[in-house]
Amino acid sequence: MSDAVPQAPVNERVADPTQPARFPAGETAGGAPPLVAQGLHRTYRGVAGPELRILRGVDFTLNWGEAVAIVGASGSGKSTLLHLLGALDRPSAGSVRVGGTDVAALSEEEAAELRNKRIGFVFQFHHLLRDFTALENVMVPALIRGDSPKAAELRATALLGQVGLGARLGHKPRELSGGEQQRVAVARALVNEPYILLADEPTGDLDTATSRDVQDLLFEMKERHGVALAVVTHNRELAAKAERVLRLREGVLDNV
Ligand code: ADP
Ligand code: MG
């Protein structure tokens, strides 16, 4: 092992604003997959009613560069699972490792930093900031990471171009169609060069034709940015585009 090799900080700017950043030393060492969940349980305690055991031992591994679809009936716990995988929530039992890092060992602040840098999220509803333009919305995670406004703008502009919105930079969410809003959300999810992309019914609110466009975009951007994708969906067409399909039923995840 050599100590002499200098390690680039993860947010070092590179000449090509679309080129992924390098990972910091240590992370993903030993070939850890981007995401590994073991024995996940999630129980919600009802205020009056009985406790709800939504997840009852979920094991899940997301490998480098792959796309996995997670399907299951409404209420089966898909969003609950995705929140745990994205370190937005903590399991009642079990572990989640992101690039080999155990989320349980992180403070709230450290978990937020991990999400900001390593994980992109796309939800059913775009969750864009309504008073911000498309460009500003995409810049936000980069500014939070500590990029200069200029670097954030450069990268956000490049990404909005990639998702076909180069002519919509100054539009606010209400001035965009549903499909365009999701395109902005995809650009925002990728602005910090994450290696995991998590999507929760990303086309659930779109008509058939627009849904197809957003599906294609998601997979195109996955390839282009080399991210591993886990997507929760009801849409069979979208699930069929993934390399693996898993079904959540009665609290466990099985191959379909
Ligand atoms: P899905 O995304 O598969 O439709 P969810 O993960 O949203 O399912 O929800 C699974 C179950 O957990 C539902 O019965 C829901 O009511 C319950 N649930 C989800 N979030 C909470 C919460 N914060 N508190 C209590 N119950 C919840
Ligand atoms: Mg859901």
CA of 158 to the centre of ligand 1 (A): 37
* Mean pLDDT on 16-38: 62
**216: which residues sit within 8 A by CB, 6+ positions away?**
none
Does pLDDT of 22 surpass 70? no
Compute the CA torsion angle 131, 135, 137, 142 (nearest 10 deg): -140
Cα distance between residue 11 and residue 224, in whole Å: 19
- Measured from the CA of 73, which atom of ligand 1 is nearest? 3
Per-residue pLDDT at 18: 39
CA of 49 to the centre of ligand 1 (A): 14
Surrounding residues of ion ligand 2, Cβ less than 5 A:
78-79
How deeply is 170 buried, as exposed, middle or buried, from its count of CB atoms within 10 A (0-12, 13-18, 19+)? exposed
* CATH H-level, domain 17-255: superfamily: P-loop containing nucleotide triphosphate hydrolases (3.40.50.300)
- Return phi, psi of residue 228, to 5°: -90, 135
Single pTM value for the model: 0.89
Q: Give, for ligand 1, the residue of 45, 51, 52, 123 to mutate: max count of ligand atoms closer than 8 Å to Cβ.
A: 52
pLDDT confidence band for 27 (50 / 70 / 90): low
Say if residue 20's pLDDT is above 80.
Answer: no
pLDDT single digits (tens) 189-238: 999 999 999 999 999 989 999 999 999 999 999 999 999 999 999 899 99
Q: What's the mean pLDDT in 3-21?
A: 37
Q: What is the mean pLDDT of the chain?
A: 89
Which residue ranges make up each domain of the chain? Answer: 17-255
Q: Which atom of ligand 1 is nearest to the CA of 44?
A: 25
Query: Does residue 183 register a pLDDT over 50?
Result: yes
Predicted pLDDT at 7 = 36
Comparison of pLDDT for 1 and 68, the residue scoring more: 68
- Among the atoms of ligand 1, which is closest to the Cα of residue 81? 6
CA distance 17 to 201: 29
Number of neighbours of residue 155 by Cβ within 10 angstroms: 23
Task: Please tell me the residue having the least CA distance from ligand 1 atom 20.
Answer: 80
Determine the atom of ligand 1 nearest the C-alpha atom of 201. 2
Compute the distance from residue 6 Cα to the ligand 1 centre, in Å. 46
- Alpha-helix runs per DSSP H in the chain: 78-85, 108-118, 134-145, 149-162, 178-190, 208-225, 236-240
pLDDT tier, 28 (very low <50, low <70, confident <90, very high otherwise) = low
| Whole-number pLDDT of residue 207 | 94
Provide the pLDDT for residue 32: 86
Q: Give the closest residue (by CA) to ligand 1 atom 25.
A: 44
Q: What is the pLDDT of residue 220?
A: 96
47 pLDDT band, cuts 50/70/90, is: confident
CA 245–ligand 1 middle distance (angstroms): 21
Sheet hosting strand 35-44, strand order edge to edge: 52-62, 35-44, 93-98, 101-102
On whether the CB atoms of residues 22 and 10 are closer than 8 A, the answer is: yes
- Inter-residue contact 195 to 228 (CB < 8 Å): yes
Ligand nearest to the CA of 124: 2
Whole-angstrom distance, CA of residue 222 vs CA of residue 195: 9
pLDDT in tens, 110-119: 999 999 999 9
Average pLDDT over residues 13-29: 43
Segment 202-212, tens digit of pLDDT: 999 899 999 99
| Residues in contact with ligand 1 (CB, 6 Å cut-off) | 44, 52, 54, 72, 74-80
Cα 110 to ligand 1 centroid, rounded to whole Å: 26
